[in-house]
Structure 1
Amino acid sequence: MERLCRVHPLFKKRLSRLKVCTGIELDPKAFSSQALFSQPDCFVAITSSRLGHDAQLHRQVCRFLSHRMMDLRHRSAHLLVAANSAIEPLAMRAAELFRIPITRLFVDEKCPSLADYDCSIYTNKRLSRDQLLLGIADRVDAVYVRPKGKIAAALEQRIKTERSASTRVAVINQPKNAAAELIDSGAIGWFLTGSRNDFDDMVARRAELDSIDYSSPSWIHDANRWLIHCTRGCTGAWPGQTVKQYQDEMLLGDAGVTQRTAFDVLVRIVQKRRLIANAVTSAKAYPVVCFSQRSLAECLRKRIYRSHVGRWDGEPYGIAIDLEAARRIGIRPVLYGDHATRPTIDRADQYRFQARGKTFDWTAEREWRADRSVDLMQFSADQVRVFVATESEAARLRSISKWEVGSVESC
């Protein structure tokens, strides 16, 4: 190890930076692998707060990651990431796609099968993996930072002690984002030229949808003929899409491909001509497709924002199926009851059970369910209607739909 110190001055420099940033000096013997400090290249750390399941946030983060990978490849730099951190899976896949060498830091973990570049750090000091990562790295890129979190605190610590232009934070269009505060502290703002302001677009779109008048007389008021299935924006991977396929789409796809709004979900349904069953029943054990026997106008007029799931319970996008045709293929009304009711229901009908609810009366939904995916090709052209919010969206869908497409704004 002493020989490496003489050959590579960066060895001492990185340990010195770690001491300055954290106030703690580590013995070189704490590092199980010499790979981290035997490389003379620049080490760039990638860090992020938890990303959750928001596909819009994933797309923005991946755009920054992809641009950074291209830059690292041009500079022949080396990527550094904390093992088991929020960004590790995406960073690993991005490094693989763009052929960037990457080192994972394992802090106080037994890792019998480390890769060539990986490094384990064993220390009884009170250092988090974020502090170690940001202290050791030559440069730091934070692709998303939540306010008042551990990542934000570790970045503040580095910015105040390092006092250089080596820490960047991505400016992402998310309401909960600490980028502005970190830039005020001394971080460099990281922008992508030509990027769309997705958050402002979302707010404008919400106002546009809220201005639609659902009072015009039309089929949307008929509660006796149609079952309504409203689509919602997709969080995470599409049904049936693997994690790696999702990561590749986010890292390599353009904005038009990677969007997952309620309209995008409907386009996918029309293209595949299939409603995919998901396990979203009250017991979360039965894959179902849900419908409402309420009129479309009522579904939209009485929709409520469900804060516990972060979405509206109805959107002006979806599929309407003729009620009698739906009944013939096995779609059945929900059986409402309480916890004492459920054990009395036949096993084959358990997917139909729904608790009446205490804070909200779920019987008002007049819900029906299919216990499997619904193949829309088994319906005739007049037994299915596709609905969207605006006439411009309807025009886009008509070129790929075998069924009538209408907009609620023109009803």
Structure 2
Amino acid sequence: MSTESNSQSSQPDNIQPRSEDKWQSDEFEGAGDVSQLPNGLSAQQVNSAIALVQSQQNTTALQQARSSFSGSTTTVTVKTRALLITLLSITITVVGIAINQPIVGISGTAVTLFLSVIILFPWLKVAITESLTPQQRALIVAFLGIIVTVAGLVKFVPGTINWDVSGTLAEWFGALGQILIAVIAVYIAWRQYVISKDLTIQQNLLTIQQNNITQQQTIDTYFQGISDLVLDEEGLLEDWPQERLLAEGRTGAILGSVDAVGKAKILRFLSRSKLLTPLKRDGHLGRAIFNGSGGYLEDLVAGVRVIDLGVMLAGANLSGTDLRWTDLSEANLVRVNLSHCDLVKANLYRAILYEANLSNADLNATQLFYGSLETASPRSRLHPPDYRTGERTGAVVENANFTNVKRMSEHNRHYCCHWCGEKSRKTIPGGCEGIENKLGR
């Protein structure tokens, strides 16, 4: 009973955090199994004994923590006797100075200095230890050693120092110090410029990234809007004249507000959706006609395009973009920049490439004309094209730049040499020697 009462009385005074309780419970793992108790002891008695041991261990840990905490705080104690002696010596020193007695003054001064040093030394030691790291203390001692060494050399090495020369050297060192200060100032200004430049570059990159995100959102909205405009509820092409006009208006507006990559995305979307292809129409309803193979029937002569690019791309910059399989037929591409573009299997028949820049573009399997090479010729404003012979079905390539174009077929090379003019013939890879200039200029 005494054990139980002691445990109950000690528990409220020794409440510990959960973490400590967790540690303590590990020490008595398995102690809660009543089946393992000795004969004559109840579970309540065993639990009381465990609580007593825990309280004793907690008290011991608390005392150790207090002792460690108190040991970390250094206090400087001074006996009253030492203070009285110090005050007495100060008084003797003052009296010696007042009565002009050197012996009394020197004696009081020596005793005062000695006692003051003894009193201040522990505090000074603690202050230095807490405020300076070992490395800082070593550096201070090293600098003091250098100063004392220089003073010793000046004092005890006679005839080695010419003071006139030293004065000149001092002036030189002064000038050198000013130069070093100027150099440091220039370095600081340069570092500020570099940091400012880096911040400006990062800000520009963030702005470009934000603009790209905004542009992509605009393009996605355009895709959805065009799809809703030209398709009916069943997903079939239902482009009435007013709908085609609205689609062309939206396309012209967005092509003028996006960069080269955005333009290429829009052109690929419209090409693969057959919205730039001339489709055969029903004579009465004007609707596109199926070709019997799951698509729409094309009509190069009298077909109607859902979106006619017209002059939307004239003078545009499409440099370095992906335009594979795009249908740019009959588009006005005057002075357009197609350098470094991927034009593999692009359809450029009857396109106006006057003064266009095609340097370093990939023209593999690019279609520039229909029919036979011998009879093919550029488009005409006065006469319709003849897709059987190729007359007036070709692209206008006059004064175009073909420098370093890649994978140009022999048919396209001969066609360009025939109809690009003398200025552009010099830029075609492989040359145009022996090929007739049918353009005549």
Q: Decide: shared fold, TM above 0.5.
A: no
Higher share in helix: 2
Larger Rg: 2
TM-score, normalised with respect to structure 1: 0.17
Higher share in strand: 1
